[in-house]
Amino acid sequence: MRDYTIFIPEFIAAGAAIGIIALELFVPRIRKDVLAYLTFAVAVVWGVASLFYIGKDPNSFQGVIQVDNFTTFFRLLSAGTVAVTALMSAHYLRDRTATASEYYGLLLIAGCGAVYMAAARELMTAYISLEVLTFCLYILVGYVKRETIGSEASLKYILLGAFSSATLLYGISLIYGITGSTFYDEIAAALAERASGTDPAVIVGLMLILAGVGFKVSAAPFHMWAPDAYEGAPLPITAFLSTLSKAAGFALFLRLFAGAFNTDAVEWRWAVALLAAVTMVLGNLIAIQQTNMKRLIAYSSIGQVGYMLVVIAAMGYGDAEVGKNASSALLLHLVGYVISTLALFTALTAYYNKTGDDSIAGLRGMAETQPFLALVITVSLFSFAGLPFFAGFATKLFMFQSATSDDLLWLVGLAVVNSFISLYYYLMVMRQMYMFDPRPGLARFRVSPVLWVLGAGLLAGVLFIGVYPGPLFEGAERAAGPLFELGADVEAGRLTGGPEHVSTP
């Protein structure tokens, strides 16, 4: 019997998305900030509904979707990110668009796509979930039509995204042709039963899948879309791109490499390690040259992706216990990174609402005109750099520690060096805020209460994780457990959904 109750949180989010879009159709004069607050409320309800699945036995729907602690972890992360993005957008969209309901509806639907990237246990389901998220982002990047740079960025994103989707599908077709299945457990079983030796077709399929998902998380050299998309998108959507889309991509990475490809680690771990090295070096070095704040954050986030790929590589060089520790460390880092990024963009959005300037030089004198926003940006950037007492220090420490092995010492060392490099361009931003006078005509101003409270809450989260990461790390450990503890054979009845799927010969 099919259990549809596992979809209740996403039924709430998707149903509300349709309702919000319909609301503006029937009440065209409704205020845009009201739609933002409605979206925030829906995201909170979505998150609360997800809490009821914590600690429940894993439940599968037809073997394609699995709801467990790992899925619940990303449900909460997705709901929280959508809620914060909606609040950031309330004032931002007020005078920039004629309608806003589709914007908020797409935020909720994109969040659902991100959740099912984490919940998928079958390649085509993962691909469809990824495309749901990506198609929403295509539209959101160019949502403010009067800004031509946004339309251009959206077009570039669509064209490159279509190429990456084709690459991913080609990789999936190769893996299906070799194993006869698209289900993660059956792929793992088929690969484990092969005769010893390297199979070129498997390597090609794995590399194509790695390239396809690598594009979605903007890993180098598949990062070309990110700087233009970040610069052209509305500021809240830049935050959304930098957080939820990356978190969903790494959720998919974890499911794939802990499930479908865990028996073939020798055939992909070298590629992931090389990808991590290239990504962190390229991202941090090019970030130094940036003059636009959104482009700087784009390259900074590419560097952050490189650090996270170190953990994926570590999963291929150890046993299940090493994999579990690495996965929980990555989940912890994702939360710290998401909160730090949202705090940064909350402050940038509040400042942009006043000045309309998103250049680095435009931040000059912020410590005088709005010291609270300058503090939030400073703490967020210190967190990205991994300095003590901020979230990034604790999360990077756990992450790099979990990846430390004889095979990857060089990669961990390279990641530490790149963290120091990143501190240089973060300090250049702080130099503008604290060492220069404000631009002429800009006096001290007040931040809207909503953004002030949001910034203060996220700032507290960055500091709390940096000082006391224990509770969150325990939650991350519980979330990572199902990746390695659940059996592969769904038909054996270990999942509560009963017989789920039949292998396709």
Band of residue 195 on the pLDDT scale cut at 50, 70, 90: low
pLDDT score of 504 more than 50: no
pLDDT-above-70 percentage for the chain = 94
Pick from 285, 268, 256: nearest CA to 203: 268
pLDDT given for residue 500 in this prediction:
45
pLDDT given for residue 489 in this prediction:
43
pLDDT score of 461 more than 80: yes
Count CB neighbours of 426 within 10 A: 21
pLDDT score of 362 more than 80: yes
pLDDT score of 106 more than 80: yes
pLDDT given for residue 138 in this prediction:
94
pLDDT given for residue 196 in this prediction:
57
pLDDT score of 406 more than 70: yes
Band of residue 198 on the pLDDT scale cut at 50, 70, 90: low
Pick from 307, 310, 311, 309: nearest CA to 323: 311
pLDDT given for residue 7 in this prediction:
93
The residue that leads in pLDDT, 259 or 238, is 238
pLDDT given for residue 490 in this prediction:
35
Record the tokens describing residue 276, joined without a space: 């991590």
Please report the sign of the dihedral spanned by the C-alpha atoms of residue 257, residue 260, residue 262, residue 268: negative
Contact (CB, 8 A) for 330 and 420: no
Record the tokens describing residue 323, joined without a space: 């994999």
pLDDT given for residue 341 in this prediction:
96
The pLDDT tens digits of the residues spanning 141-171 come to: 999 887 788 889 999 999 999 999 999 999 9
Contact (CB, 8 A) for 391 and 342: no
pLDDT given for residue 488 in this prediction:
40
Record the tokens describing residue 487, joined without a space: 């059996």
Q: How far is it, in rounded angstroms, from Cα 357 to Cα 91?
A: 16
Q: How far is it, in rounded angstroms, from Cα 490 to Cα 89?
A: 43
pTM of the complete model:
0.93
pLDDT-above-90 percentage for the chain = 70
Strands 65-67 and 59-61: antiparallel
The alpha-helical segments, DSSP class H, found in 288-436 are 293-315, 320-355, 366-369, 371-385, 391-403, 409-435
The pLDDT tens digits of the residues spanning 351-361 come to: 999 988 889 99
Q: How far is it, in rounded angstroms, from Cα 384 to Cα 88?
A: 21
pLDDT, averaged across the chain: 89
pLDDT given for residue 487 in this prediction:
42
Q: How far is it, in rounded angstroms, from Cα 165 to Cα 156?
A: 14
Crossing angle, helix 320-355 and helix 371-385, to 10 degrees? 160
Count CB neighbours of 326 within 10 A: 28
pLDDT given for residue 1 in this prediction:
58
**Which residue is it, tokens 């309800």?**
45
Give me the phi and psi of 359, to 5 degrees please.
Answer: -85, 160
pLDDT score of 497 more than 50: no
- Tell me what the mean pLDDT of segment 94-109 comes to: 91
Give me the phi and psi of 16, to 5 degrees please.
Answer: -65, -35
Query: 456 CB contacts (<8 Å, ≥6 apart)?
Result: 372
Band of residue 318 on the pLDDT scale cut at 50, 70, 90: low
Record the tokens describing residue 361, joined without a space: 């030089």
**Torsion angle defined by CA atoms of residues 468, 471, 473 and 475, in that order, rounded to the nearest 10 degrees:** -160
pLDDT given for residue 104 in this prediction:
96
